[in-house]
């Protein structure tokens, strides 16, 4: 029997060259600049529209081997699943226990305990009552009290007769992250590093399944850091911890084996994927420089979806954000993934939010099977190039930070925070111009959404008598990192508008649509979307409806009867040349506080401004500035529309 011929993929198509592709691009752009298709990341890395080459195996390595860019082999990830970690932060130990047991019974495989759960030894014991501690890893996030809470957990293992070899989880010693988030380390940074080293030394000799040290880079990410900055902060923190452990007598290999890394995941799954891969690349490079054997150099990485991408408004969209972030984390080869509930910014997460966060990962793993594919991004010229570019950016900044004294020096003097604030402000500017649109917030807002029935987060008690408690001698303090959320400024405007127009049914912004539907509908939809992003209901009148006005008089008459305060003229450039000036004057005469025009005015600007147009709204406009001026014209309290720095949970 003749051998079966292998099919020739794309054999019916002639090969295409890059020059032919560029010629096709020129035809589409009609002489426009090719640079329009090139974007840049927050680390100023160019993202090309087409990749025809990338780093080869000599740079990226092979799965399961240094530099671990390509992750691990199928044998090293048994069953194709990763650790599904859930956060337990409930203040009441009975409720925390109920949530923990439910999560473990329904698919979560490890617990991260934080907040009120760790305020007392009895709270920890109550939370873990009934948990099989020899099966379920427990990781602590106790801030500056990491040594004390580690002792509580070790005592629980003894009480429940968990053998040292069967104990699983982590003690979460991470004084740099604690100082970055709270601005305070009561025991001082030097004592905290010494305690970290002592705990790590004990753990290495007693608990083979436990890691004492965490490098949590998410505080930097939640402050708005770029991917390169986050990785550089991770490296510099890791260098400080390795020095402390080696200074206490631990070998470099033993010290590296005590560390778990936590990174953030955004909704951009390509960037998240590349960041996780780059994290292994740069960590292995630092481990090699420290003389750490390659057999123990591969880092253990947990990835958590970031709160900065989550919205309070239309929180259902958060499910899509969390899914995309989790997908990127898994494709990047994360060992553990923490998916936040979609309602986390609204209040204390409820069962639906937790279930969706948990089941998102179960679906990805058990039904989609993405974890069974070894390095799914391997060979993608785009992802491979982005990975190497991120690694390079992170390494260069790491060298700068170490040259400036390393961690915690750059935390205490604020230099890294200043760098991050610059990147964060640029990102906020892109959000304001909707270059980075936020569905449900800056784009396609749902003014008729029903609020979730979610209780608020418990209020942390303040010391009796008020004031700030005195700090012990030797405490280390600094300015805490600001926490940001990309939707927060739009949400503040929505809150202010809701408070001002709580019982109002009429539109606030009148859409003066000129001409037939085909002429005005695109810009009318654009304007409605824009103003409602600030909580300002925008509509035409019942008489005008979507048919459009043919005269300035009819538009002004309908505006006067609409009850609206602001007006926006919407139509084509041709109609603007014929009617816009007359319509603007008529609307002003009819009482419009401000008149807007949807579109770029071009040569008509001076004429339209003279006729009464106050502002122009178009693609690329600073939407936040437009909305704030509209709020000011309406007399809406601007203080309530400006979120306090660091506001949030």
When pLDDT is cut at 50, 70 and 90, the band that residue 85 belongs to is very high
When pLDDT is cut at 50, 70 and 90, the band that residue 646 belongs to is very low
Residues 6 or more apart whose CB falls under 8 angstroms from that of 330 comprise 82, 337, 361, 364, 365, 370, 371
DSSP state of 136: S
Backbone dihedral angles phi then psi of residue 88, each to the nearest 5 degrees: -110, 115
**Alpha carbon distance 536, 566 (integer Å):** 10
SS3 sequence of 445-499: CCCCCCCCCCCCCCCCCCCCCCCCCCCCCCCEECCCCCCCCCCHHHHHHHHHHHH
Mark out the alpha helices in 214-371 (DSSP H runs). 218-222, 227-247, 252-256, 269-289, 294-297, 318-331, 351-362
SS3 sequence of 25-92: HHHHHCCCCHHHHCEECCCCCEECCCCCCCCCHHHHCCCCCCCCCCCCCHHHCHHHCCEEEEEECCCC
- For 599-607, what is the mean pLDDT? 95
Number of Cβ atoms within 10 Å of the Cβ of 256? 25
pLDDT at 10 over 80: no
pLDDT at 74 over 50: yes
Fold for 75-370+377-420, please state it.
Answer: TIM Barrel (3.20.20)
**Alpha carbon distance 177, 174 (integer Å):** 6
Q: 480: buried, middle or exposed (CB in 10 Å: 19+, 13-18, 0-12)?
A: middle
Residues 6 or more apart whose CB falls under 8 angstroms from that of 106 comprise 355, 358
Q: What is the pLDDT of residue 469?
A: 62
The structure's pTM equals 0.93
Same fold, 75-370+377-420 and 491-634: no
Residue 496: closest CA among 626, 594, 307, 628: 628
pLDDT over 70, % of the chain: 94
Number of Cβ atoms within 10 Å of the Cβ of 609? 16
Strands 83-88, 336-338: pairing kind: parallel
**Alpha carbon distance 618, 373 (integer Å):** 44
Instruction: Specify which residues 303 forms β-bridges with.
Output: 263, 337
Tokens encoding 508 = 């606030």
pLDDT tens digit string along 393-443? 999 999 999 999 999 999 999 999 999 999 999 999 999 999 999 999 999
Residue 381: closest CA among 303, 266, 270, 226: 270
When pLDDT is cut at 50, 70 and 90, the band that residue 12 belongs to is confident
Which CATH number is 491-634's, of 3.40.50.280, 2.60.120.10, 3.30.70.380, 3.40.1440.60?
3.40.50.280
**Alpha carbon distance 447, 234 (integer Å):** 40
Chain centre distance of CA 175: 23
Q: What is the pLDDT of residue 542?
A: 58
DSSP structure string for 333-352: T-SEEEPPPTTTTTSS--HH
pLDDT tens digit string along 442-466? 999 999 888 888 888 776 444 444 4
Q: What is the pLDDT of residue 57?
A: 76
SS3 sequence of 184-203: EECCCHHHHHHHHHHHHHHH
Tokens encoding 333 = 């080869």
In the block, which residue shows the tokens 């449900």?
Answer: 440
In the block, which residue shows the tokens 């209020």?
Answer: 459
What are the angstrom distances between the C-alpha of 220 and each of 307, 394, 476? 12, 13, 19
Instruction: Specify which residues 141 forms β-bridges with.
Output: 114
pLDDT tens digit string along 518-529? 999 999 999 999
How big is the chain, counted in residues?
649
What are the angstrom distances between the C-alpha of 647 and each of 305, 345, 452, 643? 19, 11, 20, 7
Residue 99: closest CA among 358, 469, 310, 354: 354
| Cβ–Cβ under 8 Å, residues 631 and 497 | yes
* Mean of pLDDT over the chain: 92
Q: Is the four-CA dihedral 408, 309, 311, 624 of positive or negative sign?
A: positive
**Alpha carbon distance 570, 556 (integer Å):** 14
Residues 6 or more apart whose CB falls under 8 angstroms from that of 355 comprise 106
- For 304-327, what is the mean pLDDT? 97
Torsion angle (degrees, nearest 10) of CA 268, 269, 271, 273: 160
**Alpha carbon distance 186, 195 (integer Å):** 13
Which of these ranges, 77-81, 190-194, 357-361, has the smallest mean pLDDT?
77-81
Strands 110-114, 138-141: pairing kind: parallel
Q: What is the pLDDT of residue 295?
A: 84
Residue 379: closest CA among 277, 457, 485: 277
**Alpha carbon distance 429, 49 (integer Å):** 24
SS3 sequence of 520-588: HHHHHHHHHHHHHCCCCCEECCCCCCCCCECCHHHHHHHHHHHCCCEEEEECCHHHHHHHHHHHHHHHH
What are the angstrom distances between the C-alpha of 447 and each of 48, 255, 348? 37, 53, 23
| Cβ–Cβ under 8 Å, residues 260 and 254 | no
| Cβ–Cβ under 8 Å, residues 526 and 532 | no
pLDDT at 467 over 70: no
Q: What is the pLDDT of residue 468?
A: 52
pLDDT tens digit string along 331-385? 999 999 999 999 999 999 999 999 999 999 999 999 998 988 999 989 899 999 9
Tokens encoding 434 = 């909707």
Q: Is the four-CA dihedral 528, 531, 537, 539 of positive or negative sign?
A: negative
Domain boundaries, the chain: 75-370+377-420, 491-634
């Amino acid at each position: 029997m003749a051998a079966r011929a292998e099919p020739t993929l794309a054999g019916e198509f002639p090969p295409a060259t890059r020059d032919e592709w560029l010629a096709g691009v020129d035809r589409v752009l009609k002489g426009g600049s090719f640079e329009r298709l090139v974007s840049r990341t927050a680390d100023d890395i160019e993202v090309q529209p087409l990749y025809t080459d990338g780093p080869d195996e000599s740079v990226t390595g092979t799965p399961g081997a240094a530099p671990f860019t390509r992750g691990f082999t199928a044998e090293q990830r048994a069953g194709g699943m990763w650790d599904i970690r859930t956060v337990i932060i409930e203040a009441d130990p009975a409720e925390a226990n109920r949530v923990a047991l439910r999560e473990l019974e329904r698919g979560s495989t490890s617990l991260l305990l934080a907040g009120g759960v760790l305020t007392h030894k009895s709270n920890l014991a109550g939370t873990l009552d009934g948990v099989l501690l020899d099966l379920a890893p427990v990781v602590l996030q106790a801030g500056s009290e990491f040594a004390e809470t580690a002792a509580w957990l070790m005592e629980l293992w003894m009480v429940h007769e968990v053998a040292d070899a069967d104990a699983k989880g982590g003690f979460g010693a991470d004084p740099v992250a604690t100082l970055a988030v709270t601005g305070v380390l009561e025991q001082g940074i030097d004592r905290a590093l010494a305690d970290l080293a002592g705990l790590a030394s004990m753990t290495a000799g007693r608990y083979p399944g436990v890691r004492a040290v965490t490098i949590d880079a998410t505080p930097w990410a939640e402050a708005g850091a770029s991917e390169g900055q986050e990785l550089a902060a991770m490296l510099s923190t890791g260098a400080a911890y390795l020095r402390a452990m080696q200074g206490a007598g631990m070998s470099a290999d033993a010290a590296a084996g005590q560390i778990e890394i936590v990174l953030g995941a955004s909704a951009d799954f390509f960037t998240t994927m590349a960041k996780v891969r780059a994290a292994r690349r740069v960590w292995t490079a630092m481990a090699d420089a420290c003389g750490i054997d390659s057999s123990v150099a591969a880092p253990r990485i947990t990835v958590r979806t970031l709160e900065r991408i989550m919205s309070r408004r239309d929180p259902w969209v958060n499910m899509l954000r969390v899914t995309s972030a989790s997908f990127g984390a898994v494709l990047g080869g994360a060992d553990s993934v923490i998916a936040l509930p979609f309602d986390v910014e609204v209040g204390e997460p409820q069962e639906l939010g937790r279930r969706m966060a948990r089941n998102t990962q179960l679906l990805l793993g058990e039904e989609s099977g993405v974890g069974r594919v070894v390095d799914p991004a391997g060979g993608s010229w785009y992802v491979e190039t982005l990975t190497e570019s991120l690694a390079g950016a992170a390494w260069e900044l790491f060298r700068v930070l170490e040259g400036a004294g390393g961690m915690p020096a750059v935390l205490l003097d604020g230099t890294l925070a200043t760098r991050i604030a610059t990147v964060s402000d640029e990102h906020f500017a892109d959000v304001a111009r909707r270059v980075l649109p936020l569905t449900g917030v800056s784009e396609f807002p749902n003014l008729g959404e029903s609020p979730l029935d979610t209780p608020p987060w418990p209020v942390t008690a303040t010391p009796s008598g008020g004031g700030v408690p005195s700090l012990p001698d030797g405490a280390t303090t600094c300015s805490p990192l600001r926490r940001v959320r990309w939707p927060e400024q739009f949400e503040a405007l929505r809150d202010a508008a809701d408070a001002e127009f709580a019982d109002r049914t009429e539109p606030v912004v009148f859409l003066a649509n000129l001409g037939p539907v085909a002429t005005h509908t695109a810009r009318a939809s654009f304007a409605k979307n824009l103003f409602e992003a600030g909580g300002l209901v925008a509509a035409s009148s019942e008489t005008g409806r979507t048919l459009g006005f043919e005269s300035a008089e009819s538009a002004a008459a309908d505006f006067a009867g609409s009850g609206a305060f602001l007006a926006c003229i919407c139509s084509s450039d041709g109609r603007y040349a014929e009617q816009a000036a007359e319509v603007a004057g008529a609307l002003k005469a009819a009482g419009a506080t401000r008149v807007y025009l949807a579109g770029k005015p071009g040569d008509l600007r001076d004429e339209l401004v003279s006729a009464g147009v106050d502002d122009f709204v178009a693609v690329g406009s600073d939407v936040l500035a437009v909305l704030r001026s509209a709020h000011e014209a309406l007399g809406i309290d601007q203080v309530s529309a400006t979120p306090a720095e660091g506001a949030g949970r």
